[in-house]
């Protein structure tokens, strides 16, 4: 076998076939499924999940009736529930199941798919980048925006969006003022 050239060695440094880890496979699955444009987002989400897991482990070491544990557990569960990462505020078991995919499910592009504004995450990301979506009164151009439970009801098409006009026209809810604009 011939000796590898410099650029071939450099390419092989990026992929290690001898020490392949299943964590990297999971990372690739999440990146592809949720259309993450930056892998650093996955790393940040994973780091936050590690912090939460360590905090839960430290809370479990405290006695169950400890005032500090109860107060901190309630605050943690309330915060994670408002962020949309856990469904219930009853126990710490839900906190242990939080992973990077939990954060990815709360990104604006994924929320648009769930609210049936778009059929795919790719299509939703395009709508956001083109300026068709607003959250509350603010125009959003970043598909990676984390949407909390409170913000979820405020997601809408912008007033000048052609997609909004087509949806209103399809549903026969287009009024005379909107007809003048379009």
The DSSP secondary structure of 11-73, one letter per residue, reads HHHH--SSS--HHHHHHHHHHHHTT-S-HHHHHHHHHHHHHHHHHHHHHHHS-TT-HHHHHHH
pTM: 0.79
Q: Are residues 60 and 114 in the same domain?
A: no
Q: Are residues 92 and 114 in the same domain?
A: no
Q: Are residues 58 and 19 in the same domain?
A: yes
Is residue 1 included in any domain, yes or no?
Answer: no
Give the range of the structural domain holding residue 171, as residue numbers without chain letter. Answer: 108-181
CA distance 141 to 132: 9
The total of structural domains in the chain comes to 2
Is residue 11 included in any domain, yes or no?
Answer: yes
In tens, the pLDDT along 48-72 reads 999 999 999 999 999 999 999 999 9
**Average pLDDT in the 132-153 region?**
94
Please identify, among 58, 75, 103, the residue that sits at the C-terminal boundary of a domain.
103
**Average pLDDT in the 120-149 region?**
94
Please identify, among 82, 103, 124, the residue that sits at the C-terminal boundary of a domain.
103
Which two three-digit tokens encode residue 12? 């092989």
């Amino acid at each position: 076998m011939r000796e590898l050239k410099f650029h071939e060695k450099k390419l092989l440094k990026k992929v290690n076939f001898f020490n392949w880890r299943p964590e990297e496979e999971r990372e690739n699955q999440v990146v592809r499924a949720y259309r993450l444009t930056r892998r650093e987002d996955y790393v940040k989400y994973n780091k936050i999940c590690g912090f939460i897991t360590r905090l839960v482990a430290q809370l479990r070491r405290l006695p169950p009736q400890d005032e500090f544990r109860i107060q901190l557990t309630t605050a943690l569960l309330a915060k994670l529930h408002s962020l949309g990462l856990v469904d219930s505020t009853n126990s710490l078991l839900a906190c242990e199941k939080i992973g990077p995919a939990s954060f990815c499910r709360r990104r604006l592009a994924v929320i648009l798919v769930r609210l049936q504004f778009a059929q795919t995450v790719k299509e939703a990301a395009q709508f956001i980048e083109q300026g068709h979506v607003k959250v509350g009164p603010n125009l959003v151009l970043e598909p990676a925006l984390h949407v909390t439970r409170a913000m979820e009801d405020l997601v809408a098409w912008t007033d000048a969006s052609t997609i909004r006009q087509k949806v209103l026209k399809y549903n026969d809810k287009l009024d005379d003022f909107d007809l003048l604009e379009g």
